[in-house]
Amino acid sequence: MLIQSIRRFLAVILLILIATPLQAAGGPAAGPPRIIFILTDDHRYDYMGFTGKVPWLETPAMDRLVREGACFNNAYVTTSLCSPSRASILTGLYSHQHTVVDNYAPNPGNLVYFPEYLQKAGYATAFFGKWHMGDDTDEPQPGFDHWESFKGQGKYFGVNLNINGDHVQYGEDVYTTDLLTGHALDWMKARDPDQPYFVYLSHKAVHAAFKPAPRHEGRYAGKTIELPPTYEQTKNGKWRDLKWPQWVKDQRISWHGVDYMYHGNQDMQELVTDYCETLLAVDDSVAAILDYLDEAGLAENTIVVYMGDNGFSWGEHGLIDKRHFYEESAKVPFLVRWPGHLEGGQTINSLVSNVDVAPTFLAAAGVEKPEQMVGESIIPLLEGTATGWRDTIYYEYYWEYDFPMTPTVFGIRQGRYKYIRYHGIWDRNELYDLETDPNEMVNLIEDPDRQELVLRLGNELYDWLEATGGMRIPLKRTMKYRWGDYRHKEQY
């Protein structure tokens, strides 16, 4: 009997000794997970190496995220524009709810950002990079214990960082993507291993005007992409027979059109290579984060999410940039890695949205979703336990004073169909079957056999707006100094 008792005692001790290294290494028994959220600017969903969209583009770290985690093929933003999208990420609300409807609309003062809930749950929190949400400020924001940011779009070289209220000017030889990554890593390395943390690494890249890191400059010189089929359809008057909205046809020769891009004459192919070269430092940033987690033994209990704040068009429908509800503008990369909890190599086709980010991180931390948030946690999708997941996502974009070429847009994607409705202009709406027409070339809005579908989707769009308080357009002040002459205080 004594010998059996001793054996049982030794067995318990052995189990404790075996389990202890796992906890120290951040294994499943280590408590709430660390969360790292990497957000990029204007990164479209298919411009990564593993998608094969651009055969010469190499993104080994992003490829690794998918190989060791999951890629969501149908991740959308509710508004394809920097500030509204970022506000939706932080609040779990639609644009018409948080009212940060463009890059200048201020925070109304009643918004709660999800990191504030993480703080209350015992998380250390830090923000690094581009805030650009609501107004032109770099001041520390609620929800973050540590803060590093810059005003507006910032600069690729020689950025001025507000670090916890003190401004630090960096030299013109300092590349911002690398700087932010290094500071985020330094902060993580200094954490108490017993306290979970949340890192929001928000890159300026790959926003125009694109500037790659010196080590990547010229990497893709002379490379070209295959022009999308809708590029040629809008060229030299070929659009006359297309049932596309007139505003789309007219925008080809504009700031966001392929024939007068940013009111310049740069070749689009050169812009694409600049964009892809600028993306390479972002991939290096992802690699540095993953390598650190592995080397420190922290990977098992750390969620890494990579996402774009909106997509970007490269010639589709004769357009560049974003704002519209075409796929390349509204869809974003959404990659998740969580070793020990998520089987690698997953491709998930369910419809997810940027309003799902906040509920997901709160659920991972064991925090109940606040009542006001409209999104849902994607963790059941990752675990393969989701039932009754949505088949519908919604979209909205509000006309901007500075970029009047794009009208107010409301849209719905439901299953294989996408319905787009324009507000404030006399123009044609749109309906596309994404299963048979992934390039959105054939507008079915006037198809006699689909009029019941058009009516139903239109009513569902209005039902959504009505149910979520979106039937009143949130206006903002548009008083500005005379365009191009800031010496005079004349307003118009």
pLDDT tens digits, the chain, 492 residues: what are they?
444 444 444 443 333 333 333 333 344 446 899 999 999 999 999 999 999 999 999 999 999 999 999 999 999 999 999 999 999 999 999 999 999 999 988 888 899 999 999 999 999 999 999 998 866 789 999 999 999 999 999 999 999 999 999 999 999 999 999 999 999 999 999 999 889 999 999 999 999 999 999 999 999 999 999 999 998 776 666 666 788 999 998 898 899 999 999 998 889 999 999 999 999 999 999 999 999 999 999 999 999 999 999 999 999 999 999 999 999 999 999 999 999 888 899 999 999 999 999 999 999 999 999 999 999 999 999 999 999 999 999 999 999 988 999 999 999 999 999 999 999 898 999 999 999 999 999 999 999 999 999 999 999 999 999 999 999 877 776 665 544 444 444 443
- pLDDT score of 473: 76
Contact 172, 279 (CB under 8 A): no
Contacts of 54 (CB under 8 A, 6+ apart): 47, 225, 276
Element (H, E) at 332: none
Q: Which single residue is written with the structure tokens 């009516």?
A: 455
Handedness of CA 285, 289, 290, 291 (dihedral sign): positive
Phi, psi values for residue 53, rounded to 5°? -60, -45
Tell me the three state secondary structure of residue 360. Answer: helix
Q: Hey, where are the domains in the chain?
A: 31-233+261-382
Contact 71, 347 (CB under 8 A): yes
- pLDDT score of 136: 76
Domain 31-233+261-382 has CATH 3.40.720.10: yes
Can you read off the two tokens belonging to residue 47? 């411009």
Beta strands in 93-221 (DSSP E): 124-130, 146-150, 160-163, 166-169, 197-202
Can you read off the two tokens belonging to residue 142? 């609620």
Q: Residue 414's beta-bridge partner residues?
A: 392, 417
Tell me the three state secondary structure of residue 430. Answer: strand
- pLDDT score of 480: 56
